[in-house]
Amino acid sequence: MKKKTKGSLTEMAIQALTVAVAKAVEDHRRRGIPLAVWRNDRAVSIPASEAGALREVPIEYRTKSHGAKS
């Protein structure tokens, strides 16, 4: 039986945030509440019906390597 590999703390945090955002978007869609999003350096409200169009390219994070000198 294979052991589950544990992801890094960063990977686990990103996964948790992704799940939380998906739940919040679904809740807003179900209740018909507009979503506040950041676009073009401004906070704007969008209708819940447009929430499915919210897709963002994931940011590649740089992490420090253990034992590497800066």
Report which residue type is found at 33: I
- Give the pLDDT confidence score for residue 45 in this predicted structure: 93
Q: Give residue 30's domain range.
A: 9-53
Specify if 1 maps to a domain: no
Look-up: residue for tokens 């034992």? 67
Specify if 18 maps to a domain: yes
pLDDT at 58 over 60: no
Specify if 3 maps to a domain: no
Specify if 61 maps to a domain: no
- Give the pLDDT confidence score for residue 7 in this predicted structure: 75
pLDDT mean over 56-68:
58
Specify if 63 maps to a domain: no
Task: Count the domains in the chain.
Answer: 1
pTM over 0.95: no
pLDDT mean over 18-38:
89
**3-state secondary structure at position 16:** helix
pLDDT mean over 49-66:
62
Specify if 43 maps to a domain: yes
pLDDT mean over 1-25:
81
Cα-Cα-Cα-Cα dihedral of 9, 12, 17, 23, to 10°?
-160
Half-sphere exposure of 51 (CA within 13 A, CB side): 19
